[in-house]
Amino acid sequence: MFLVVGFAMSGSFNFQYSGLDAYTFLAVYGLIVFLYFLVLEGAMGATIGKKLLKLKVVREDGSACGFGPALIRNILRIVDELPFLYIIGMLLISRSDKKQRLGDKLTKTVVVKA
């Protein structure tokens, strides 16, 4: 995805951004990644990776995730990633009986086998 966005913005796979162009690139890339998770999990309950692993995101009662929970869940992905490499997310998942990260706990969602 990183290369696709870079190519789309520069017309070349040999791109280097600096200054304002770098911030613009990162903003566009970040928005696309955020929308990828939001739209796919909100509409279908799974990203392409989750579908390949036969997983999906559902509410704790088994109903569809929906866009509201998907939005909150993915905004909180930022916290789970802190301080780096999903350390907070991994700690929360390892201490949760339902294997939920912060976004899952607040939205009452779980990742289950499809």
pTM recorded for the entire structure: 0.86
Q: Which residues contact 101 (CB under 8 A, 6 or more apart)?
A: 76, 80, 88, 89, 92, 93
Separation between Cα atoms, residue 93 and residue 90, nearest integer Å: 5
The pLDDT of residue 15 is 86
Predicted confidence at residue 2, as pLDDT, reads: 87
pLDDT at 14: 87
Asked if residues 69 and 107 have their Cβ atoms less than 8 Å apart, the reply is yes
Q: pLDDT digits over 44-98, tens only?
A: 999 999 999 999 999 999 999 999 999 999 999 999 998 888 999 999 999 999 9
Q: Would you give the DSSP letter of residue 65?
A: -
Q: Specify the higher pLDDT residue, 58 or 16.
A: 58
Residue 19 has which token pair? Answer: 């200054």
- Biggest alpha carbon distance in the chain? 48
